[in-house]
């Protein structure tokens, strides 16, 4: 019996993987420090393809992406999924392949754009479903794919006169719906904050209706009618949570009695704790409803409420939350420039707000 046990031990040592190795598709264990990366669903992808490409299991992909993977592992082109890999591994995400957008300007041709991007005209046509004779016009946005280093995302200029480089799409996530997916591009820090806080409210209020997220920016930023801002990937329109747990599906005008201030404040508070919010626009009537709720709830001093809301401030322009026409359908949140983004400019009087 002793000799059999020794033989079994020797066999186990021979077939065991090398120390530090981890077989492809193995479940991330608690004793291995992990880091999260984001991968975008490409044309023709299935969840199984993405799992194999990134060396993880289907079970882990489902677990890491609650609300993003549908029934029967359904995913859609453009969705962003979270993948976890060992910490310290040099990764670019999605096998080093990334997606970008090019804004067409007057005088551009497909040949010129292809040369600038280092791709072929045929690839541009395929990626954008363009016929060989199809014209391109100033203001069009073309999608392209590249491998290797990705341009660092940056916000150029001001929110009311700017551009966006290296945009990421908000995609699907827990606790929110997109009203206009084609306008849901922003800086990674902005999209991460929106996803994190929507998921946080959904976790806090089980069974809650989704928040509705509207425009952020176009893929390359720039003018975005009818908005005056939303040009540099740092502004986001967010529909209100509605009383009675109604689903906000279209951002229609609401009054104080239609508002669920508890959930709306939970989302706002989460966004504010990032210490990245510089401006919020909200209808005065809804501001008053928020102040009434927060005054009854307690926890915030009157001085904090005055710093927060224009309707409570002695100097209204000094408050974070200002009135702007049309913001009875949604509230508008603006995030700060990244500290190392030298081309980014704040609007006058926009300052990072910090809760006490």
pLDDT at residue 235 greater than cutoff 50? yes
- Residue of higher predicted confidence among 273 and 356: 273
Rounded Cα–Cα distance for residues 317 and 97 (Å): 45
Ranges 65-69, 250-254, 283-287, 315-319: which has the least confidence: 65-69
Average pLDDT over residues 4-11: 44
- Residue of higher predicted confidence among 241 and 54: 241
| pLDDT band per the 50, 70, 90 thresholds, residue 33 | low
Q: What are the tens digits of pLDDT across the range 100-154?
A: 889 898 999 999 999 998 899 999 999 999 988 888 998 889 999 887 777 788 9
Q: What are the tens digits of pLDDT across the range 172-186?
A: 889 999 999 989 999
Residue found by looking up tokens 């393809």 in the block:
49
pLDDT at residue 254 greater than cutoff 80? yes
Looking at residue 259, its pLDDT comes to 98
Looking at residue 249, its pLDDT comes to 92
Looking at residue 32, its pLDDT comes to 52
Average pLDDT of the chain is 85
| pLDDT band per the 50, 70, 90 thresholds, residue 96 | low
pLDDT at residue 92 greater than cutoff 50? no
Cβ–Cβ < 8 Å for 174, 210 = no
Average pLDDT over residues 233-255: 97
Average pLDDT over residues 243-271: 97
Rounded Cα–Cα distance for residues 221 and 155 (Å): 9
Q: What are the tens digits of pLDDT across the range 290-347?
A: 999 999 998 899 999 999 999 999 998 899 999 999 999 999 999 999 988 999 999 9
Average pLDDT over residues 251-272: 97
| pLDDT band per the 50, 70, 90 thresholds, residue 26 | very low
| pLDDT band per the 50, 70, 90 thresholds, residue 87 | low
Looking at residue 30, its pLDDT comes to 45
Looking at residue 34, its pLDDT comes to 66
């Amino acid at each position: 019996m002793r000799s059999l046990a020794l033989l079994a031990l020797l066999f186990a040592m021979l077939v065991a993987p090398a120390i530090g190795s981890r077989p492809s598709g193995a479940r991330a264990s608690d004793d291995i420090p992990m880091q999260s990366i984001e991968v975008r669903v490409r044309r023709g992808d299935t969840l199984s393809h993405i799992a194999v490409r990134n060396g993880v299991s289907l079970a882990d992909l489902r677990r890491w992406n609650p609300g993003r993977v549908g029934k029967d592992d359904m995913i859609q082109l453009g969705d962003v999924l979270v993948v976890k890999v060992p910490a310290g591994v040099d990764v670019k995400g999605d096998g080093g392949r990334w997606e970008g957008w090019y804004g067409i300007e007057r005088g551009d041709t497909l040949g010129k754009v292809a040369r600038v991007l280092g791709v072929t005209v045929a690839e541009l046509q395929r990626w954008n479903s363009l016929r060989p004779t199809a014209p391109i016009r100033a203001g069009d946005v073309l999608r392209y794919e590249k491998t290797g280093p990705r341009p660092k995302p940056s916000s150029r200029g001001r929110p009311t006169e700017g551009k966006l480089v290296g945009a990421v799409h908000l995609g699907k996530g827990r606790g929110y719906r997109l009203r206009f997916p084609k306008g849901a591009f922003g800086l990674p820090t902005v999209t991460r904050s929106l996803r994190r806080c929507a998921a946080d409210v959904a976790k806090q209020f089980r069974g809650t209706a989704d928040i509705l997220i509207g425009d952020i920016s176009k893929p390359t930023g720039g003018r975005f009618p009818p908005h005056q801002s939303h040009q540099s990937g740092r502004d986001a329109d967010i529909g209100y949570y509605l009383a009675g747990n109604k689903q906000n599906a279209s951002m229609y005008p609401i009054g104080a009695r239609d508002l669920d201030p508890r959930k709306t404040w939970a989302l706002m508070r989460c966004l504010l704790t990032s210490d990245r919010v510089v401006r919020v626009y909200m209808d005065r009537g809804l501001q008053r409803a928020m102040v009434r709720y927060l005054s009854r709830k307690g926890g915030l001093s009157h001085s904090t409420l005055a710093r927060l809301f224009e309707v409570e401030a002695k100097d209204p322009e000094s408050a974070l939350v200002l009135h702007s026409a049309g913001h009875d359908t949604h509230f508008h949140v603006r995030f700060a420039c990244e500290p190392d983004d030298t081309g980014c400019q704040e609007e006058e009087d926009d300052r990072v707000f910090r809760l006490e």
